[in-house]
Amino acid sequence: MENSKAKIMIIDDDPDFRDAVTSILQSALYEVVTAPNPEEGKKKILKEKPDLILLDIMMDSLFDGFSLCNAIKTSKEFSSVKNTPVIFVSAVKEMTGSRFQFKGEDQGLSSPDDYIDKPVKPDDLFSRIERLLKK
Amino acid sequence: MKKRKHSIVVIDDEESMRDSCRMILEKDGFLTETAENGSSGLTKVEKIRPDLVLIDLKMPGISGLDVLEKVKKIDSNIIPIVITGYATIESAVEAMKRGAYDILHKPFTPGELRLIIKRGLDRIKLFREAESLRNEKKMIEENFITMVSHQLRSPLVAITQYFEVILGGIAGEVAPRQKDMLVKARTRLNSLLELINDWLDIARMDGGSIVDKLKIVSLEDLINKQVEFLKPYAKKNKVTLSLSSISGSDKALGDSDSLEQVFSNLIRNAIKYNKADGTIKVLIKEEEDYITTEIKDTGIGIREEHIPYLFNQFYRVSRSEDKKQKGSGLGLTIAKKIVDAHNGSIQVTSKPGKGSVFTVQLPKAYNTIT
């Protein structure tokens, strides 16, 4: 796959965060689609079939991101896109120290392919995306 | 709250008593069950979990007082009212002692019964209101961290994210003087984020959530990890950092995530308040029931008068020579709260100009605990 043309989807409820990260990704020539909440995210994932998803963990509820990630990886509805890599993007990990790390796994939810803290550093974000797209 | 029918169980060996109580209570819209002796009454109480129970004191089989005690054991929220035909002060006192809410003397009028039941139900109402207030308060407290994270952090994160875009040159070129200012602004924003993080840590510590997560922790591994992680920072400050000695067991009983934070905070401080070409030595030793860790620095030291306040929130020693040092002022408070939650202790001794020693004692883990 030609990495510079990969389609990245940002699902995050903060419009400014989406805007800023869209700029970052576009500067590296990625195609970007965004969704402001999990519901719209679900529809767009199936329609747009992105190459990678940046998913905010905590939107309306604390576990929005966890359950959407789990749905993508395990539910029938998303079987056509279940191999799409998911990166969790959140400020939560920092907030609670390392304690918060993937507590979803304890509850039997699928884990994401990677994890990045907000605010994201452009270089860090690119290297994580590239690594997953190469897989 | 949704209004629901209250339920009442009447336990009395006299059939006429049961029937008349049932008639009055059902007419008033209560779900009413009756029982002719203590044991069948208790079975019904167990099954229905009524709001209120009327218990005759004098019954064959289990005595009314025993039934009363057992009802309280089944559910302490049930209001028990005792019916007695031989009202003496002694029996009344005894019944109240064993948890009766009120006493009804035989014979009684429907009005007396209604009044006493109303009082009991009012109490339930008050109790439920108090409980729902308590729950609400608890929910607010529990969600507070989540709320603060979202409401306070989100805008800061969005702002910082724009800074990353601008400073990354993604939104066009930035003049050197502008860049210089933006970098400074970003630094200030980052300290603000750090302050919120630290503050949230303290809020969580006060919730006392770590005590049930205690496991056997190898302090050698844990501290080694922190030492390795912080070596670049030490080097930048021209400070030599090492885990210099271990004697005896290094196995403490603790929560490794929290303890990482304790030692990270202490070592960071030791680096921050050290002198150029200074050293930091970390020692671990087994001492009776504790594993003691010492962090010795050769820094500027702390004057004696500051030591008692060192672990207080936002206390920062003001000294002319460390004006450049910035932090949230919460690092030591967090460390102390974590160590206290482990039933350990944290102490400091210091010689101004020579250096400080921070000593952390944590309960030793014995092999029997796994």
The model's pLDDT over B74-94, given as tens digits with 9 standing for 90+, comes to: 988 899 999 887 767 787 788
Question: How much is the pLDDT for B279?
Answer: 93
Sheet architecture: strand order including A31-35: A31-35, A7-11, A52-56, A86-90, A114-117
Task: Provide the pLDDT confidence category of residue A104 given band limits of 50, 70 and 90.
Answer: low
Task: State mean pLDDT over B254-272.
Answer: 89
Q: Which of B104-108, B278-282, B362-366 has the highest mean pLDDT?
A: B278-282
Q: Is the pLDDT of residue B208 over 80?
A: no
Task: Provide the pLDDT confidence category of residue A49 given band limits of 50, 70 and 90.
Answer: very high
**Cross-chain Cβ contact B164/A94 below 8 Å:** no
The model's pLDDT over B155-204, given as tens digits with 9 standing for 90+, comes to: 888 999 999 999 999 989 999 999 999 999 998 888 888 788 777 777 76
Q: Please name the residue of chain A whose CA is at the shortest distance from the CA of residue B196.
A: A95
Q: Is the pLDDT of residue B146 over 70?
A: no
Q: Is the pLDDT of residue B210 over 60?
A: yes
CATH assignment at residue A18: 3.40.50.2300
Q: Measured between CB atoms, does B260 come within 8 Å of chain A? A: yes
What is the identity of the amino acid at B277? Answer: D
Q: Is the pLDDT of residue B134 over 50?
A: yes
Task: Provide the pLDDT confidence category of residue B370 given band limits of 50, 70 and 90.
Answer: very low
Task: Provide the pLDDT confidence category of residue A1 given band limits of 50, 70 and 90.
Answer: very low
Cα of B236 vs its chain's centroid, Å: 38
Out of A95, A97, A121, name the one closest to residue B153 (CB): A95
Q: Is the pLDDT of residue B252 over 60?
A: yes
HSE toward the beta carbon, residue A57, CA cutoff 13 A? 28
Q: B152, B157, B186, B191: which to substitute to probe chain A, counting the most A Cβ within 10 Å? A: B157
Q: What is the mean pLDDT of chain B?
A: 86
Q: Is the pLDDT of residue A4 over 60?
A: no
Burial code (b: 16+ CB inside 10 Å, e: under 16) for A12-29 equals bbbeebbbbbbbbbeebe
Question: How much is the pLDDT for B319?
Answer: 56
**Cross-chain Cβ contact A98/B257 below 8 Å:** yes
Q: Do the Cβ atoms of B56 and B80 come closer than 8 Å?
A: no
**Cross-chain Cβ contact A118/B197 below 8 Å:** no
Q: A23, A26, A56, A106: which to substitute to probe chain B, counting the most B Cβ within 10 Å? A: A23
Task: Provide the pLDDT confidence category of residue A87 given band limits of 50, 70 and 90.
Answer: very high
Report d(CA B87, CA B106) in Å as an integer: 8
Write down the residue that tokens 């400091």 correspond to: B348
Q: Is the pLDDT of residue A97 over 70?
A: no
Question: How much is the pLDDT for A90?
Answer: 79
**Cross-chain Cβ contact A91/B149 below 8 Å:** yes
List of residues 6+ apart from B197 with CB closer than 8 A: A94, A95
- The contacts found for A59-65 with CB under 8 angstroms, 24 or more apart, are A59/A11, A59/A12, A59/A13, A60/A13, A62/B146, A63/A104, A64/A37, A64/A38, A65/A11, A65/A38, A65/A90
**Chain B nearest C-alpha distance from A127 (Å):** 15
More confident: A96 or B359: B359
**Chain B nearest C-alpha distance from A67 (Å):** 17
Q: Which two tokens stand for residue B261?
A: 């934070």
What is the identity of the amino acid at B182? Answer: L
Question: How much is the pLDDT for B131?
Answer: 84
Question: How much is the pLDDT for B256?
Answer: 83
Could you give the 3-state DSSP secondary structure of residue B327?
Answer: coil
Specify the number of domains making up chain A: 1
**Cross-chain Cβ contact B161/A119 below 8 Å:** yes
Question: How much is the pLDDT for B39?
Answer: 92
More confident: B258 or B218: B218
Q: Any idea which of A31-35, B104-108, B365-369 has the lowest mean pLDDT?
A: B365-369
Residues of chain A in contact with residue B204, where contact means CB-CB under 8 angstroms, are 96
Task: State mean pLDDT over B259-263.
Answer: 89
Could you check whether the bond before residue A119 is cis, i.e. omega within 30 degrees of 0?
yes
The model's pLDDT over B335-355, given as tens digits with 9 standing for 90+, comes to: 998 898 888 999 999 988 899
* Domain membership of residue A54 as a residue range: 3-134
**Chain B nearest C-alpha distance from A79 (Å):** 32
Q: Which two tokens stand for residue A46?
A: 């199936």
Q: What percent of chain B has pLDDT over 90?
A: 42
Residues of chain A in contact with residue B150, where contact means CB-CB under 8 angstroms, are 58
Give ipTM to 2 decimals: 0.80
Q: Do the Cβ atoms of B309 and B315 come closer than 8 Å?
A: yes
Q: Do the Cβ atoms of B11 and B41 come closer than 8 Å?
A: yes
Question: How much is the pLDDT for B59?
Answer: 86
Report d(CA B143, CA B138) in Å as an integer: 8
Q: Do the Cβ atoms of B260 and B229 come closer than 8 Å?
A: no
Q: Is the pLDDT of residue B220 over 90?
A: yes
Out of B158, B168, B258, name the one closest to residue A122 (CB): B168
Out of A24, A96, A119, name the one closest to residue B157 (CB): A119
**Cross-chain Cβ contact B161/A94 below 8 Å:** no
- Percentages helix, strand, coil for chain B (3-state, rounded to 5) are 50, 20, 30
Give phi and psi for A29, each to the nearest 5. 70, 20
**Residues of chain A that touch chain B, judged by Cβ-Cβ distance less than 8 Å:** 14, 16-17, 20-21, 23-24, 27, 58, 62, 91-92, 94-99, 118-122
Report d(CA B222, CA B225) in Å as an integer: 5
Q: Any idea which of A43-47, B5-9, B225-229, B254-258 has the lowest mean pLDDT?
A: B254-258
Q: Any idea which of A63-67, B121-125, B306-310 has the lowest mean pLDDT?
A: A63-67
The model's pLDDT over B279-331, given as tens digits with 9 standing for 90+, comes to: 999 999 999 899 999 999 998 888 888 888 888 877 766 654 454 556 667 88
**Cross-chain Cβ contact B158/A121 below 8 Å:** no
Q: Measured between CB atoms, does B197 come within 8 Å of chain A? A: yes
Task: Provide the pLDDT confidence category of residue A63 given band limits of 50, 70 and 90.
Answer: low
Task: State mean pLDDT over B107-115.
Answer: 90
**Cross-chain Cβ contact B158/A92 below 8 Å:** no
**Cross-chain Cβ contact B158/A16 below 8 Å:** yes
**Chain B nearest C-alpha distance from A119 (Å):** 5
